[in-house]
Structure 1
């Protein structure tokens, strides 16, 4: 092997792993670990060197056993830049030979990535437990390995730990007992100086063939809730150590894929400090907020999020774990499909949530908005350096990926689509794949050339904007020619709605004959990943008429109108007219879409008091009548849609400073504090009550409260301290989130400064929570930007190995909108090493440029529209 000519980013495949025997000892008292690994490898080429990954570990001298002979390398060198160790030998190993590489290693247990630590407080004492977060390249921080997704192997894990703790891994344990050091020269440190009976060893069954990034193990004083699920395909019964949702989802996924879950058990470990969750095979690890829900106190919105994310991670057990992307450029295959499945499973479990329509106002809209920027990227993007994968963990990879798959499912039909997915999983089971493999499978089950149709959609940035005219029109365009499924909706004079999914636009201009008495709209149910401009008022009216009765179509029109106004392809007045026109719609999803778009306008004009008050007036006009109609109570047996409309209406009215709504919420809270059992707060209203109202708070242990005071938003010291007490002491993840929202809502300068002083002393999850809510508060937004700049180096050291680091820290800048803001942001980032986050930085700067132009162009439009609307007597 010519070491000088090695690829800087990909391991040589002269030797590839077959099986790992991994033994790790965890010391929770000292927060260190050590271990041994014996890796069975096969030589694919003659070579004198073995190269594998390792990073931030101390290594002992390695050895290789081949044909019964133990060999010591002539050189053992570590390159920290490439995160590799190279073992060199005097004589070559021959092609086809198998050998065992044996190594010892030790290291510290860090936070966030690799083999990480979490902490919890028990009887006033801080205790620790550990878990793993190996995606994308952090397994090498825990043990030497071939740390690339295509270099799959089987793993037999043994964990040594202090007596009284629990060990977990991907597979079930087949043995646990006192640890006695083996007569093995690799293991003398394990038993040295330790009292008998102080350590236990847990041995786990070997895994199927899998990638390193989904290997998992954990150690700590764990407790669990156990249930069982029965395979829908084979009646096999497996233990599931987390609530009943998992037992419902796994059989559904088996039936959808026609492929049995292949492992003997499924665990979900909740770990403080983890940002999000990771789909480790058989041992998902994630933040408690992601998985834990109390039906007595949890809000409906919290439950929706937990169902979606749990379904997402469980879908990965097939799409990502059974079949894994060949390399990180196809990460979207894993994440896009799991995101789509999260929505599909949520919809099947809770059809009353209308998840399909909610997607139009969620992931679909977010993806279109980001992909309209020049700094966006294709869903399948070159990623030679796996250490830059974190830059790809964004809206495009997850949400555009899922939106494109949703589009394919729509024009193929769900049954052929799922049959193709099943075929794809079976053909590549326990192996790796690229996007073309999925297109081939879908094509074979649908008799459609999916590969050719989807080529530009995954390899090009952006999407088409279709212009519907009553006469030919030519305009500027880029060079990409898209094949677009038009999914044409027509509504005839009798009110009959028809959808034609057979029409594909494959030329720049195409004539489609329509009956003169028909209304028409493109993109039925908003499944196609594109925007539509209707060139005349008549065509706009036709589209509006065709959309009525279908909430996804209504949302598509509204979201397109908003986005086209921002892009200067339509007037903002069109979108505002749709909001008022749709405001009488009874469906929650439509009202949520209106609210989201009003919020986006508030975000744009957050430093213009006049326009902010106009927008609050629009909020009150739409939502206060709903509060008056629906009230504040949640009677048993009412429909889910009614309940969520009430929650939305109260939130919007209160945040718009409606006096009657605020007064009722204050009275409710006063009664609650006087007698909690007699006057409980509705769980769905707790967040807004915590945020905007209070009176006569009782004194928690940290505080001396006397007299009445305003809520946290209005600057109450007692309320602020009370919310911090909840934040620090509650055991309920949802309540912690509500308290963080309240703390971040403070508008008093002294309290805001105190929050910033406290942030970096909090745990990682809370830092992210607080930065998010402080960025969302207009009064603290600029302070958050300055805090980020002042503490950038500390935040980068703490969070840069976290998946999604860039999205967490992009938040403070995204609503800046002046030339001075832009220049200062450019100057700031010039002083920082942004090599790993170049795309994120460019997206941030482009967003500020767009904001500047949008506000400059549309401020006269929005003021003119509201002046007309106000004089009509419709404002409140």
Structure 2
């Protein structure tokens, strides 16, 4: 508080303080914004993405400091005093705007005559011909300003001085500005929702990774930590929130408006991307008896959502999860409050802003009568993920975005530990295998994948940074940290984190700092590793991909090779490790105990892995290691025999792993495709979720490749035969579908049973789902469909029905007041078999009043999953790319996810050429989609080869198995 007051006095003396400009500035904003947008639409030559295998020659580096994407190291921020006034109603020009001013206190560490500070899409007021006013705090002479300008490509405000700033002196820079409170889901933006027929507006933020500069001029890099003094001016009837606790609001009059001014306590020293502020008319729920009496926990949301109790589950679990992480890190929660707020429009799942975590409604709100167990699990894991960041990411922050994997991969891994503590019966430590690891292995098996950690100089532009927010960063990051925790033990892993956080709190780090602390914990525990933690782990993070370990159980010979889905693909990303890993191999033999062996070379021999005549061996227990396993043909046959005779002898995760490894090895031509298909034969006796879900995902690849060919019929007939016993099992377990299974994973597998049964024509299934749906249509006020089964029932009934079913579901979607229910309906609407309805639905994706911008990507991808909708979605994306890129760019659309989603079925030369043409046509505006486009090209080429090689034998196998007796 004292420091904030001192800044205000200094500003009054040394800076020209002007009133916030009105109409002329607003008009100027529109002009400047239009110019910036036009300039940004024509992208100048840029350094190609490091993940692109076809990158052209890198241009020579820019000569001027303002042409570089990284800030100079001459200035360091100390604090900011920011005042913002968001207008929650449009102005005379129909624009939503915010007005504000900011004073940054910064220290000069190297003499310079340049002030370079980030500013993007802000119209800055002129002070005597300049866009900023300079002052000082320690009596030094204030240099006069020579000129200032906005450098649009690099998003800077550049201030050139007539004489240099003095190293060691502290200065202030005052700016005043107007920005658009747009609906682009980035920076300081606008979210809208309807309540009781009234459209309401929320002003909120999403700063990560590079959008704090859209809210006010700032040194917008993670290492440029500072203290923030925030003031928000807002209408009566609204509340203002920020990272820190607020002082008592006061009434003010400004420009003839009666308003409220809310000031906040200074934040802890932190990065700009963690800053948050919200103005809304929400309310909250809190628990005065929470185990953290010294920490105020509040769940904020729309008033009706709070009144209906949708925030209660989040409130109930936040306290225990905070307790878990305090014990895990051996460090108290660093703040005095934890506000969590559910927003109607939000691009990501959630954002770990320190003290004010923002969420999509589906990630924070839960209604027991309407939401499914999957919705509940999502809320628990997302809350756990964000609370994990309060220490790892916020208290200690990685220096630059090239180490984003460490921040997000870590939070993803430990989110399962926190959720497991909060919900101990769910077995969350196992579900990480399905939710994170199996899926990302498919991505990382592409030659166009990328290492977890990049060089700082390769990640410069905002689009480079945005492209890192992918499954490699989150899921592979989690997988390799889980593997590390397993081989050094969770207790030692936790101990290393504790000393790491203690040394670097309120500072920035690089990944080697964590390796050093984990090594200290390993040494203290007396664990003997043949190589250091850093030596082992660098092979997993500094080179892309992972190995396939091949075990010969006749000789004990073990080999490793870089696993690629297409072994003919060219890997032109060099690796100093030559794609060789240090692999922790765990295994069991028939009736044996777990053993471990380190593979440090391309090949080795371990006679403990040899087998007797009737024995079997399974390696990579519980998929703790990030690698695939192949065996000699005899051991494969023994494993398949064991699955057919007594599958429970093999641990459930490894039953799933055997399926997943076999299918992926077959795609890589390492085993025969029929061997992979044979791993699914035991499923007619399997009732556990993980093997069924893994088989479903892998068979889904066959459906993607063959659902437009003659293979489809026999494939459907085989799956029908396999799923019928599961359908009947759950029919009996639930007493003819009247009860909910007790076990968490059984609830998931009941969904699998009905979904697969209906899609393959199991007798009575479609009648069941369409009957439930018809009952709801006849009485819209009463939906008796079980919450867990809703999406499956909606999709099945809409697929079997016509326009009446679709229009009814659309009406229910538009009127849904619970976000998770709206999500289910939104996805199910893409299940229709009517092309004209799918085309109509695609057009809705460009109207934010019909489909929110945050949901446009997922809706288009859902339509593309439908075999009828896929070509329609691809045509739509190509025809509308300019609009999607320019109007839905930035945070409101995941272009990587979009390209990946609409090209999953591509398996012909014609489709490959279409992709190449798309790449050529849009070379200047691919942005964060560029890596995904390369992956789509590689995947399509691999699919073409696979279909040509496997179609005949796959058809023959399904025909034979479908007609054979059970």
Aligned mates of 1:364, 1:600 — CA distance in 2: 17
Q: 1:814 aligns with which of 881, 897, 904?
A: 904
Partner of 2:38 in structure 1? none
User: Could you say if the C-alpha distance between residues 130 and 643 of structure 1 is closer, same or farther in structure 2, counting changes exceeding 3 Å?
Assistant: same
Aligned mates of 1:292, 1:726 — CA distance in 2: 19
Deviates more, 1:29-38 or 1:666-675: 666-675
- Preserved contact between residue 118 and residue 272 of structure 1 (Cα < 8 Å): yes
Deviation (angstroms), 1:14: 0.8
Aligned mates of 2:894, 2:331 — CA distance in 1: 31
Deviation (angstroms), 1:444: 0.7
Partner of 2:304 in structure 1? none
The 3-state SS of whatever aligns with 1:381 is coil
User: Could you say if the C-alpha distance between residues 618 and 306 of structure 1 is closer, same or farther in structure 2, counting changes exceeding 3 Å?
Assistant: farther
Aligned mates of 1:353, 1:541 — CA distance in 2: 32
Q: 2:915 aligns with which of 814, 817, 825?
A: 825
Partner of 2:856 in structure 1? 767
The 3-state SS of whatever aligns with 2:670 is coil
- Preserved contact between residue 547 and residue 581 of structure 2 (Cα < 8 Å): no
Q: 1:499 aligns with which of 590, 594, 606?
A: 594
1:128-527 equivalent positions in 2, closer than 5 A: 128-179=201-252, 191-192=254-255, 194-195=256-257, 198-228=258-288, 236-241=294-299, 242=311, 243-276=315-348, 277-382=350-455, 383-387=458-462, 388-447=464-523, 448=529, 449-469=532-552, 470-471=554-555, 480=578, 482-492=580-590, 495=591, 497-501=592-596, 503-514=597-608, 516-517=611-612, 519-527=616-624
Aligned mates of 1:46, 1:463 — CA distance in 2: 47
Q: What is the aligned residue count?
A: 835
The 3-state SS of whatever aligns with 1:55 is coil
- Preserved contact between residue 543 and residue 579 of structure 2 (Cα < 8 Å): no
Aligned mates of 1:429, 1:596 — CA distance in 2: 42
The 3-state SS of whatever aligns with 1:629 is helix
Partner of 2:790 in structure 1? 686
Aligned mates of 2:637, 2:422 — CA distance in 1: 36
User: Could you say if the C-alpha distance between residues 229 and 505 of structure 1 is closer, same or farther in structure 2, counting changes exceeding 3 Å?
Assistant: farther
Deviation (angstroms), 1:113: 0.5
Aligned mates of 2:341, 2:239 — CA distance in 1: 12
Aligned mates of 1:452, 1:630 — CA distance in 2: 49
- Preserved contact between residue 340 and residue 358 of structure 2 (Cα < 8 Å): yes
Partner of 1:619 in structure 2? 719
Partner of 1:528 in structure 2? 625
Unaligned runs of 5+ in 1: 181-190, 694-711
Aligned mates of 1:24, 1:636 — CA distance in 2: 50
Aligned mates of 1:134, 1:344 — CA distance in 2: 27
Aligned mates of 1:805, 1:661 — CA distance in 2: 37
- Preserved contact between residue 272 and residue 765 of structure 1 (Cα < 8 Å): no
Deviation (angstroms), 1:89: 2.0
Deviation (angstroms), 1:535: 2.3
- Preserved contact between residue 899 and residue 932 of structure 2 (Cα < 8 Å): no
User: Could you say if the C-alpha distance between residues 670 and 76 of structure 1 is closer, same or farther in structure 2, counting changes exceeding 3 Å?
Assistant: closer
Deviation (angstroms), 1:380: 0.6
Partner of 1:699 in structure 2? none
**1:344-363 C-alpha deviation (Å, 9 max, x unpaired):** 22233334333333222331
- Preserved contact between residue 896 and residue 931 of structure 2 (Cα < 8 Å): no
Deviation (angstroms), 1:296: 1.1
1:505-654 equivalent positions in 2, closer than 5 A: 505-514=599-608, 516-517=611-612, 519-538=616-635, 541=638, 548-608=649-709, 610-631=710-731, 632-635=736-739, 638-654=742-758
Unaligned runs of 5+ in 2: 1-61, 91-95, 300-310, 524-528, 563-570, 572-576
**1:52-83 C-alpha deviation (Å, 9 max, x unpaired):** 11111111232222235665522112211111
Deviation (angstroms), 1:213: 0.5
**1:7-33 C-alpha deviation (Å, 9 max, x unpaired):** 712101211101111111111113211
**1:355-412 C-alpha deviation (Å, 9 max, x unpaired):** 3332223311112111111100001123431412111111111111111001101111
Deviation (angstroms), 1:452: 0.6
Deviation (angstroms), 1:201: 0.4
Aligned mates of 2:247, 2:955 — CA distance in 1: 71
Deviation (angstroms), 1:680: 2.2
- Preserved contact between residue 295 and residue 337 of structure 2 (Cα < 8 Å): no
CA RMSD of aligned residues (A): 2.4
Aligned mates of 2:952, 2:269 — CA distance in 1: 62
Aligned mates of 1:799, 1:547 — CA distance in 2: 49
1:833-848 equivalent positions in 2, closer than 5 A: 833=924, 834=926, 836-848=928-940
Aligned mates of 1:641, 1:842 — CA distance in 2: 36
Partner of 1:700 in structure 2? none
Aligned mates of 2:427, 2:157 — CA distance in 1: 52
**1:766-813 C-alpha deviation (Å, 9 max, x unpaired):** 423321220111111100000000111111123321274321343111
Aligned mates of 1:792, 1:674 — CA distance in 2: 41
- Preserved contact between residue 357 and residue 551 of structure 1 (Cα < 8 Å): no
Partner of 1:704 in structure 2? none
Partner of 2:883 in structure 1? 794
Aligned mates of 1:284, 1:56 — CA distance in 2: 25
Partner of 1:748 in structure 2? 834
Deviation (angstroms), 1:499: 1.6
Aligned mates of 1:744, 1:5 — CA distance in 2: 49
Aligned mates of 2:730, 2:897 — CA distance in 1: 37
Deviates more, 1:81-90 or 1:320-329: 81-90
The 3-state SS of whatever aligns with 2:202 is strand
Partner of 1:707 in structure 2? none
Aligned mates of 1:589, 1:542 — CA distance in 2: 17
The 3-state SS of whatever aligns with 2:604 is coil
Deviation (angstroms), 1:473: 8.8
- Preserved contact between residue 592 and residue 648 of structure 1 (Cα < 8 Å): yes
- Preserved contact between residue 409 and residue 476 of structure 2 (Cα < 8 Å): yes
- Preserved contact between residue 690 and residue 739 of structure 1 (Cα < 8 Å): yes
Partner of 2:135 in structure 1? 65
- Preserved contact between residue 547 and residue 560 of structure 2 (Cα < 8 Å): no
**1:835-863 C-alpha deviation (Å, 9 max, x unpaired):** 55332211111111111112111112211
- Preserved contact between residue 82 and residue 228 of structure 2 (Cα < 8 Å): yes
**1:499-539 C-alpha deviation (Å, 9 max, x unpaired):** 223x2111111110126445322212111111111122235
The 3-state SS of whatever aligns with 1:259 is coil
